[in-house]
């Protein structure tokens, strides 16, 4: 076997591997990819270890203005830089990377959104979330909770703790511009003593509100922690569960493939006024 022939074999091997990697990169960037569910923040809809199908072409269509994200879709997102758990160590190798989260889009640009004692309101409509409440009772928290004094917001409750507005991290500062004004009587009262209230957030162009389906205490890190999400942080939506193909139940093995549609409650949300 001549040296020239060995060189040719190496060249052919690298060329074929390179072509395969290039095709895989193009497909996963522009056509489709799959994402593994890590954790239980989307329980009961998705379970830890399941894999979902993500049509990546939709992301490019949205960015070109040919499509749009919809309320109720399950999105593949990256939390804003600096948010809790927005950076994670890569297993074994140890280098840092920004992981993807899986959350549900519950409010769109222009919507008014708030949570009162566990009930989600979008455009003042109490969204019935039977896909959640059939399996768990949402923790009765509220968002956003604002402390008002001298007619101005002085702190926001984030993760159960009131944070002064001047100490809000950068990724939460846009929240201040989204708060709807307090009722006149509450504003007047704030000149005598601090008061708290739960306003609507009016989402500006390009911002989305996302929540995990697991609304139990500590069940999900979502827009209640890192605020509304810029559209640039949405990488696609999950449309189908494909792995594992079978799951074991009390009745025996059953097919696990299932489509991830939009829950009926989100289809009834009125347009913003």
83 and 105 co-located in one domain: yes
Domain count, the chain: 2
Average pLDDT, the chain: 88
Look at residue 170 and tell me whether its pLDDT is greater than 60: yes
Cα separation, 243 vs 54, whole angstroms: 13
90 and 225 co-located in one domain: yes
Full residue range of the structural domain in which residue 193 is found: 144-197
212 and 261 co-located in one domain: yes
Say which CATH number the domain at 220 has: 2.10.109.10
Phi, psi of 61 (to 5 degrees): -65, -40
**What element of type H or E holds 115?**
strand 112-116
pLDDT confidence of residue 209: 98
Question: Of 33 and 149, which is predicted with more confidence?
Answer: 149
Q: Model confidence at 25, in pLDDT bands (50, 70, 90)? A: very low
91-108, pLDDT tens digit by residue? 666 667 778 899 999 999
The DSSP code sequence of 207-246 is EEEEE-S--STT---SHHHH-SEEGGGEEEEE-EEEESSE
Cα separation, 78 vs 231, whole angstroms: 10
Quick check: is 118 in a domain? yes
187 and 218 co-located in one domain: no
Of the three residues 175, 197, 219, the one that is the final residue of a domain is: 197
188 and 221 co-located in one domain: no
User: What is the pTM (predicted TM-score) of this model?
Assistant: 0.88
Q: Model confidence at 51, in pLDDT bands (50, 70, 90)? A: very high
Cα separation, 156 vs 198, whole angstroms: 10
pLDDT confidence of residue 60: 86
72 and 109 co-located in one domain: yes
């Amino acid at each position: 076997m001549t040296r020239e022939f060995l060189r040719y074999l190496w060249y052919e091997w690298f060329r074929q591997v390179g072509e395969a990697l290039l095709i895989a990169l193009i497909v996963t960037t522009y056509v489709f990819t799959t994402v593994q569910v890590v954790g239980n923040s989307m329980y009961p809809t998705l379970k830890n270890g399941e894999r979902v199908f993500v049509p990546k072409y939709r992301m490019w269509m949205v960015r070109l203005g040919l499509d749009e994200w919809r309320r109720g879709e399950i999105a593949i997102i990256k939390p804003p830089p600096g948010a809790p758990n927005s950076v994670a160590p890569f297993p074994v190798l140890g280098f840092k990377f920004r992981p993807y989260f899986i959350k549900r889009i519950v409010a769109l640009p222009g919507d008014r959104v708030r949570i009162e004692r566990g009930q989600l309101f979008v455009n003042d409509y109490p969204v019935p979330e039977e896909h959640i409440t059939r399996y768990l009772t949402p923790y009765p928290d509220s968002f956003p909770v604002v402390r008002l004094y001298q007619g101005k917001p002085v702190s926001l409750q984030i993760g159960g703790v009131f944070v002064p507005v001047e100490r809000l991290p950068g990724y939460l500062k846009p929240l201040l511009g989204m708060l709807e004004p307090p009722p006149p009587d509450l504003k007047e009262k704030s000149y005598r003593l601090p008061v708290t209230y739960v306003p609507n957030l009016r989402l500006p162009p390009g911002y989305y509100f996302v929540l995990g389906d697991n609304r139990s205490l500590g069940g999900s890190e979502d827009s209640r922690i890192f605020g509304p999400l810029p559209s640039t942080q949405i990488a696609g939506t999950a449309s189908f569960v494909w792995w594992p193909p079978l799951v074991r139940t009390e009745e025996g093995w059953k097919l696990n493939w299932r489509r991830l549609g939009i829950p009926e409650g989100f289809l009834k949300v009125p347009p913003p006024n």
